[in-house]
Structure 1
Amino acid sequence: MSSSLHYEAIIIGATGAVGSNVVRALLPSAACTRITALSRRPTNLFDGLQGTEKLEIQVIDYARIEEATAAAAGSSVAFCTIGVGQSRKATAEELWRVDVEYAGAFARGATRAGVKHISLLSAVGANAASRNRYIRTKGKAEEAIIDAGIPRTSIFRPSLLVTRDIRYGVQDRLTQALFPIVSPLLPRRFHEIFDDPEHSSEEPREIIVGYSERQRLLLVAFTERPPKVRIISAR
């Protein structure tokens, strides 16, 4: 049962680059008492981690996302990090089904479960009126989440996801290598957030590079402790 000091969470997309890190942040958190992860298939991604006794991975048919989510009564926080890994290789129908229909069904189910706060992983520039298929689809996904009517909705629009693992072959390897170099030169919304593995032994930490209002280069180290973000340093 959730309270003002403790909460139960439900997540879809827990095996992805972002979703898996959300789960890793929630597992050791004393405030989070239960995590329900909806998945298409079994996973051992979190085996051996602290706090796995409060993690329940439910293998479901994604055609029944709304019903499965609604059954997680008691959850007050929801995370939607589902998405097509390589969107450029997906058909328009596949992209719409995963990013809009599945996300919308998850949000509607979360409403029925009594969720008070939902967070959506979107994308930089998301716009339902865009001519770009990917950007338009992400904008429609945001609308689907908002339309669910959950009291508090947080939408995150990251740029390129820079991860420790190369997930999609040679092109991904080149992109991951070049983006940190060009990132500081891009508009702020495209600035990179990447892992800080050397200082993440006890908690996952990230670093973002950007500019201050006075156009001074900034390096900020932070960690997420849902529902808060702690700034470790800013230089």
Structure 2
Amino acid sequence: MSMSKSIVFLGASGAVGAAALDTILRFSGINKLLLLGRRKLNLADSGNLDQQIIDISDPATYEAYITDFDTAICTLGVGEPSKISKADFVKIDKTAVLDFAKACKTNGVKHFQLLSSVGVNAASKSFFLRTKGELIEALEELKFDRLSIFQPSMILTPTNRYGLSQAIVLKVWPMLDFLLQGKAKKYRGIKVEELGKAIANNILTAGAGTEYLQYDQFKSLLSK
């Protein structure tokens, strides 16, 4: 695909981030691509690709790198929140993401894309969903020209990373798709490679304001 974009990416080492990056690297015409993370990825050297090791909890370690980018992608997040404390979950999934977004806004990024979750709501009784909902409200207050919120339900990965419970879910969830119709369709599982491709392809579409993307939108973006 041909495009003219400059992209700063936080979280490209995760499952969804890696899938999105794989698609982006196939695009032609990217002016520059900056990957920020806790480690460098094993990628072929490219004139328009830069990688910087940062401390996600300290914006001072990366703010200076965010110059002349029009698009930001953030897929940073805790894979299994139940395995860490609530304080650490907030530190990674809310505070670090919001700090990144603020740095992007300050440095002229117009379009911010966030990997979130279906059902997030700042008024939710669920700590997980409430925290993510509070993050979205804070992002909206930054007033990016375009804010894209990706809201998958179950992300279906080719391998089981989190033990027996995930193994069961990965096996059973796809069998329930036929039950999830109408408004419930948003709860269908999405393959990680499809979600990553949808996040990447959305960069190529036009839009403004805040947009919430769920299962149907993911599928639509796969043909872009």
Unpaired stretches in structure 2, ≥5 consecutive residues? 206-220
Is the 1:162–1:193 Cα contact (8 Å) retained in structure 2?
Answer: yes
Cα deviation for residue 139 of structure 1 reads 0.3
SS of aligned partner of 1:96? helix
Partner of 1:72: 66
C-alpha distance in structure 1 between counterparts of 2:103 and 2:151, whole Å: 23
SS of aligned partner of 1:144? helix
Cα deviation for residue 224 of structure 1 reads 5.0
**Code of the aligned partner of 1:23:** L
2:143 aligned residue (124, 145, 149): 149
Q: Does 1:81 align with 2:58?
A: no
* Structure with more of its chain in helix, by fraction: 2
Is the 1:80–1:103 Cα contact (8 Å) retained in structure 2?
Answer: yes
Cα deviation for residue 29 of structure 1 reads 0.6
2:223 aligned residue (212, 227, 231): 231
Number of residue-to-residue matches in the alignment: 202
Q: Does 1:102 align with 2:100?
A: no
Partner of 2:27: 29
Q: Does 1:170 align with 2:164?
A: yes
Cα deviation for residue 112 of structure 1 reads 1.7
Cα deviation for residue 67 of structure 1 reads 5.6
Mean Cα displacement is larger for which, 117-126 or 56-65?
56-65
C-alpha distance in structure 1 between counterparts of 2:68 and 2:118, whole Å: 32
Partner of 1:19: 17
User: RCO (CA 8 Å, sep 6+): is it higher in 1 or 2?
Assistant: 2
Q: Which of the pair has more CA radius of gyration?
A: 1
Cα deviation for residue 147 of structure 1 reads 2.1
**Pair 76,70 (structure 1): closer, same or farther in 2 beyond 3 Å:** farther
Cα deviation for residue 222 of structure 1 reads 7.6
**Code of the aligned partner of 1:115:** V
After superposition, give the CA deviation of every residue in 1:150-187 in whole Å (9 maximum; x if it has no partner). 21101111001101122212222221111111133131
RMSD: 2.4
C-alpha distance in structure 2 between counterparts of 1:28 and 1:72, whole Å: 22
**Pair 193,127 (structure 1): closer, same or farther in 2 beyond 3 Å:** same
**Pair 66,167 (structure 1): closer, same or farther in 2 beyond 3 Å:** farther
Cα deviation for residue 52 of structure 1 reads 4.8
Is the 2:21–2:200 Cα contact (8 Å) retained in structure 1?
Answer: no
**Pair 66,123 (structure 1): closer, same or farther in 2 beyond 3 Å:** farther
**Code of the aligned partner of 1:191:** R
**Code of the aligned partner of 1:150:** F
Partner of 2:187: 190
TM-score, length basis structure 2: 0.81
Partner of 1:38: 36
SS of aligned partner of 1:19? helix
C-alpha distance in structure 2 between counterparts of 1:56 and 1:32, whole Å: 12
**Code of the aligned partner of 2:190:** I
SS of aligned partner of 2:158? coil
**Code of the aligned partner of 2:96:** Y
After superposition, give the CA deviation of every residue in 1:107-128 in whole Å (9 maximum; x if it has no partner). 0000122111001111000000
Is the 2:20–2:199 Cα contact (8 Å) retained in structure 1?
Answer: no
TM-score, length basis structure 1: 0.78
Partner of 2:4: 6
Mean Cα displacement is larger for which, 123-132 or 138-147?
138-147
Is the 2:34–2:51 Cα contact (8 Å) retained in structure 1?
Answer: yes
